[in-house]
Amino acid sequence: MAERLDGKRIAFLLMDGVEQVEFTEPWEALERAGAALELVSPTEGTVLGFHGVDKADTFDVDRDVADASATDYDALVLPGGVVNADHLRMDEHAVRFVREFFEGHKPVAAICHAPWILIDAGVARGRSLTSYPSLATDLRNAGADWSDEEVVVDQGLVTSRRPDDLPAFIAKTIEEIAEGEHAGQTA
């Protein structure tokens, strides 16, 4: 039987340029597991998904990241997409929001280019993780132990490389959220 996440509140942090499948597949899986989900963004109204470089669907924003706090959630999911990830890491509220999850020892799941924001949030040093391969040097330079694996789990931090890794990413994300807070998940 699949793990249930009933009563768990999960934030998805994203903005225009998100790799759509890295948002929609985890969202649908967590929703099926019973979690309450919110799309948090620095963008007002809607965000635009992409399939690679092609525009895709729009999604309604539930909460402005400037008004969001990690204390309102049990976990955070960071979908990828180059544009999404690059712009999020430049938003001070998004960076603060991510850091709060680590300070609260809460699970965080990041795929593809999303681990970029972990550098700006100051939480990559000493962590074992993976990402889209082009981020390897950035993450190593920030003090992370980067490896080229389908999924890496480090004390509540789940990371994966690309859309092909989504099945493993989703399974480990659900598992880490079900386990709850992790003492080793620190800022």
Catalytic residues: 112-113
* 76 token code pair: 């955070």
33 to each of 3, 84, 132, how far by Cα in Å?
A: 7, 26, 27
Task: Give DSSP secondary structure letters for the chain.
Answer: -PPP-TT-EEEEE--TTEEHHHHHHHHHHHHHTT-EEEEEESSSSEEEEEETTEEEEEEE--EEGGG--GGG-SEEEE---HHHHHHHTT-HHHHHHHHHHHHTT--EEEETTTTHHHHHTT--TT-EE---GGGHHHHHHTT-EE---SEEEETTEEEE-SGGGHHHHHHHHHHHHHH---TT---
Question: How far apart (Å, rounded) are the C-alpha atoms in residues 121 and 145?
Answer: 16
